[in-house]
Every structure is written in C-alpha cells, then in structure tokens.
Structure 1
Amino acid sequence: MKRIVMLAAACAVAVPAFAQNVATVNGKAISQQSLDQFVKLLVSQGATDSPQLREQVKQEMINRQIFVQAAEKDGVAKQADVQTEISLAREGILVRALMADYLKKHPVTDKQIQDEYNKAKQQQAGQQEYKVRHILVEDEKTANDLLAQIKKDKSKFADLAKKNSKDPGSGANGGDLGWAPPTNYVKPFADTVGSLKKGQLADKPVQTQFGWHIIEVEDTRPVEFPPLDQVRPQLEEMLRQQALGEYQKQLREKATIK
C-alpha cells in the first residue's frame, strides 16, 4: 500500500513537469515556454492568438527541430559558410533588439512631436502652391510653334496638350498637373513656376531633361498645412529615426577603432 501511495505521489509530481513540453522530437523537448514566445512574436507582428495559430506554430517548431537535427547530424551546421550566416543572423538580431530597447527606454514625447510640428509649420508659412498645366514636346521649334498658337488664343491650350504633349498623364487632361508647390518639379520647371503669377503663361519654352515645356500657372494659393493629428505618425517615426541615428553615432564615437 505504501508503494502505491509513493508511486501516485511521483506521478503527481511528474505530470506538471511533462506538461511544460508540447512535444518531443527524437528525445529533444519543445517547451510550452518556447511555443508561447513564438506565438507572442507573431502576435506582435499582427497575428491573432488562437488555437489554430498555436497548432500551426507547434507543427512549425516540430518541423524545424526535425530539420535542425538532420543538419547537425549531417555536419551542415559546421560548414564555414553556414557558421558565417549564423553569426550574421545573430548580429542582426542583436542590433535590432538593441535599437528597439533604446527606443523603449527613450520614447518620443508629445512635446517633441508638437515642437517638430510647429517648426515645420513655421517653415512653410507664407509658401504658395500652384495649379499648373504644361505641354511637353521633343524640340524647341515645336514648343515655340505651339506657344505662338496659345499666345494668340489661350483656349487652345487644352486641345494642343491632348494632341501634342509627350506627358501621357497630364496630356490626356489638357496638360493639367493639379496643385503642388514648386519644389515638386525639377529645378528649371520649378523656377519658372515660382516666377509666374496667377493666369500667367511663360513667355518662352523651358527645357528640362524630359524635353521642352510650355508652362502656364492657372491659379495660386497659400500652402494649407495639415493638422497635427494627420501627420503625427510621420513626425513620430522621423523623430524615432533621428534618435536612433544619434544613438548610433554616439556608440561609434565611443568605440575604439584601429
């Protein structure tokens, strides 16, 4: 009777220990903790924790263990190029973890975001954006001929753009490029746009690397700066990257490199 009691007690102790493993592969245990960590990683990347996901993860871990054991048995793990890849992968993981840890300890604050927003808004204060249309052609002579026709009758601009412009996007729309600041265009084009007033046609064709342009500014308006909530994610990411860049710079400056 005493032996039966001792055996029952031993089984009671052994069951919880065995329950910590979700599977064994050729005697190699796959722990519940390892599976939980794998699932946690997938969830952090957008997956949803579910019995189906956990079963998929379990099977994936079993497969990996089978293949890893085979690689080790066949000596693949000892090959020089494989060792190099393993080393590089380890370094990459550590670098990513280091950067993530730094950002966790030094989060971007609301004040930093607000200050950056105010700075950007101030920089754009007074800037204009332009509603532009153009006709793009191969050579200067063609551009001059078309410009002469438009100067006589501006109403011909859209039809001439549809018939002659090399720019398929705007050409089909009568040369319309929509609203944009001059900085959206290549420099010769941008300089001309910035020099024109509402309703003004450039007095001569403008050459860029794309060809010759006939340019007209149809309208102008002040640049409307977006509200903070709309640009917050971009500002936060920019500040995070700036912080990481500065951190990396500091680490390199402190390192002894010979």
Structure 2
Amino acid sequence: MKFASFKSSALKSVGAVSLCVALGAGLVGCGGNGAGGGAVAATVNGQDIMEQTVTDYIANFRTSSSLESDEAWGEWMVANGYTPESVREEVIDYYVNQDLYDQAAKEYNVTVEQADIDSAMEETKAMFESDEAFQEALEASSMTEESYIEDVIRPNLLQTKLAEAVAAQDTEGEGEDATLAQAQAMSEQFNGAKRSSHILLTAEEGEDDAALAARAQELLDQINAGEISFEDAASQYSTDTGSAANGGDVGWDALSTFVTEYQDALAGLEKDQIVAAPVKSEYGYHIIKVTDVYEVPEGGITSVDQLPTEFQEYLTYMEQSNASQNFSTWFEEYRNNAEITVNPMPEGLPYAIDLAPYEEAAAQNAEGDAAATEGTEQPSDETMSAEDQAAADAAAADAAADEAAAGEAGADAAADDQAGDAAAADQAVDEAAADQTAADQAGADAAADQAAADQAAEGAEGTQQ
C-alpha cells in the first residue's frame, strides 16, 4: 500500500469521509505549501514545497495511525517495505501533483465556486443517516467540516473541473458529433445484435444429466403450450437469480460475452423466437429466447437516437473512460514538462529513524516462523485419544465440505458471468465469499481441535514415561 496514496485516494471521491476514517489518512493540519518555514523540500515551476509541510504530513499520519512511537513506526515501515527516504519521496510527490493541478487550473481558468462546494457537501452528508453521524465520522478522522472542504472537496472538484476543461479543449467543436462518429464506427458491431433472455436449469441433488435434460425439455414444452409465460418460468425456475428477476433478460450480445453454446444458439433465432430444444453448456441447460434484434437503418446511423438505450449508455461510458485516460495522459505530459526539483533529505528529521533493529527483528521472526513450520509434526493416531482424534477429523471434514461449497458457489459466479448477467455473478460471488468464510472458520476449528489433540497426546506420552 502506497503511503501517499492514503491522501490521494481520499481526493478521488467527494464522499470520502468514510475512506478517511478507514485509512486514517493524514489530512489534518497539512496546510498549504510553504507552511512552516525553513528548508525547502522541492520546487515546482518555482513554487516551494517546504520541508516542514512534508514533516507535518508524516507526523499527522503517524498520529492518526497510532504509529507515534519509534518502535511502531519502524515496524510499520519495515512491514510495508518503506524507508524514511521513500516515505518522504511519496509525500513530496503528492504535493508536487497538487501544485501542478493548481497551476494548470489557473492556466485553464478553472475555479471552484461556493455553490459547487455546497452541493458536494450535501451529497456527502446524504451518505450518512444523520448530521450527527457525519460529524462523528469527521471526528474519527480528526477533521472538521472546514478541513474536509479544504483537503478533500475543493481539491477533488478542482481536478474534476480541470479534467473537463482539458477534455473540452481537446474535443472543441465535436460535441455530439464525436458520439455519433463513435456509433458509426461501431455500426458493424451493433448491426444484427440480439437481446435475449434465458432460463438456466442446473442439476438438483441426486439428479443426473438425463433427468436434468428431461426437466428442461418439460419446462420448454409448457412454455410453448402457453401453460406458463417465459418470464414467469424464468422468475420461478431459473437458477440465474439475477436475470430471473428481470424475466431472464441478459442484455445484448454485442455488449456481453456469452459461452459458445449460448452464442451459437442465438445465431439461429429471430426476434421473439425460442430455441427448439434446451441448450447444454458447462453451466447447465439454457432455454433461450431472443427478445429484440437491432438492425442498422438503411443509409447508416445518422443520429445517436437511432440506437437502443443500452448502446447509448455504452457509448457514454466509453467516452467517460476515454476522457479519464486522456486526462491521465495529459497530466503525465504536463508534469514531464514542469520544472521539478527535489532537494536532498536533511538530517535529523523526526521520522528518519534507524531501521536496522526492526529489519533484523523481522528477519529473525521470519526465520523462527519457518523453523516452527518445518519442525511441526502431526502426532500419530496411536498417541491421540479417540475423542480428540474424532474431533480433529470431524472439524477437518467440515472444513473440506465448506471448501467444496465455496468452490461450487464460485463456479456459480462464473456461470452467471458467462451468461452475461453481472448482478447474478455478484450474488454468486457473495455466496462464494460466505462459503469461503465458513471454510476458513471450519479450518480454524480443525486447527484448534488438532491443537487440543496434540496437547492430549503430549499428556498421554508423559504418563507413559
């Protein structure tokens, strides 16, 4: 984890109070560049970054992270791969960027108005249950509303507006024409795109493939006979729970990636057609229906409004992604053209402690852990009591079962993702995480029982001597 990224991460979001609380970012009392007096740490196009500013930043970080003692600070740096020099370098780098954003904003006539700040504060406070909860979050971050505005909201808004100004200059005169041009460039990809819904059936406990196929065909026959609508069948029977809530809809194939068997089945269907037979994939059996087909108008795309809403949203997303990447590229070039001087690190800085004792201690701990691992031997069943051995075996079996459940849920996540339904995939991932947590807990139980067995074994050996 990067040291200075604690602060820069917070600046990426107006609603960053919770992030500040979680990370303990050193946002308090950082002040503007030039705070403190004395030595100059760096200059950016002639503007000074004072050494005291850097030192204060690090001091605030140490305080908010409970690293005030040299021992805690040294252990933290060693554990995270830092030295006092690299910590200073990252903090200076952060302030260099902030100075460059400020300087660029002046060049592009970008300012942050009070109305922008008020709106951002309202959005942030809306994230909390009450104003009291917001104030508690600020206090936990050792911040006030004023410091939050100056250290988070204002810089964030400034960068956002600067990015917009740069993008506007780069695309001046293009506007909607740029979006239309992008749509026209993708017309071949969009032409013939199919939107589909599916019902995914997977094997129930004890059900073999033949029985599953028969069950899928029976449901398809009921749909074709009008006994149940496709949408109701999806809602009631599909194991892809995310799409099931939307009648089985998984969106447009031009914007998604489906498994080969699914995509091949779409190729043979027209609008409102359902597959003649359930389609088998590695995830189960799919009953597929094409709900819409997009054809590029004769004469080509002449207006973005001719596209389905989902295509328009995709183009907007592409524009935003490109704008973000373009701004990053622009800023990198802007920084490369700046005159930046970083002065040597002075001696006697309070955070510049000798890391040798902590590095040596870390190395010894690592060697000790390795030796302990190598020297651990499982006692034989003969030296364990039957009760302890049974407890250890049972806990191990529970761990294995939960691990298998985690793997199955993970496979469900992959299946949902391949089917093109992100919501279902997310849910399956959550299930996988829950099962993995259970597996971890069971593993811990197994370890505890094994430890108890070991202790019992040692006691048994002692009575035999």
Deviations 1:155-194 (A, max 9, x none): 4344543443211233355x43165344324242334324
Distance in 2 (alpha carbons) for counterparts of 1:229 and 1:182: 13
2:193 equivalent to 1:120: no
**TM-score, length-scaled by structure 2:** 0.32
Q: Which runs of 5+ in 2 are unaligned?
A: 1-12, 16-27, 37-51, 60-67, 105-161, 204-208, 296-305, 337-465
Say which of 191, 198, 201 aligns to 2:271. 198
Partner of 1:169: 242
Q: Are the equivalent residues in 2 in contact too, given 1:137–1:211 (CA < 8 A)?
A: yes
Distance in 2 (alpha carbons) for counterparts of 1:168 and 1:145: 18
**TM-score, length-scaled by structure 1:** 0.51
Local SS of the residue matching 1:201:
coil
Say which of 56, 62, 74 aligns to 1:68. 56
Partner of 1:90: 92
2:215 equivalent to 1:145: yes
User: Which structure: larger Rg?
Assistant: 1
Local SS of the residue matching 1:61:
coil
Among all aligned residue pairs of Structure 1 and Structure 2, give the percentage whose two residues are the same amino acid: 17
Aligned length: 195
2:252 equivalent to 1:183: no
Instruction: Determine which structure has the larger strand proportion and give its number.
Output: 1
Structure 1 residues 204 and 153, CA, compared in 2 at 3 Å: closer, same or farther? same
Distance in 1 (alpha carbons) for counterparts of 2:257 and 2:57: 58
Structure 1 residues 247 and 62, CA, compared in 2 at 3 Å: closer, same or farther? closer
Tell me the amino acid that sits aligned with residue 224 of structure 1: L
Local SS of the residue matching 1:218:
strand
Structure 1 residues 143 and 170, CA, compared in 2 at 3 Å: closer, same or farther? farther
Partner of 1:132: 196
1:143 CA displacement: 3.8
Tell me the amino acid that sits aligned with residue 307 of structure 2: E
1:94 CA displacement: 3.4
1:241 CA displacement: 1.5
Partner of 1:215: 288
1:239 CA displacement: 3.8
Structure 1 residues 155 and 246, CA, compared in 2 at 3 Å: closer, same or farther? farther
1:135 CA displacement: 1.2
RMSD: 5.2
Distance in 1 (alpha carbons) for counterparts of 2:281 and 2:98: 43
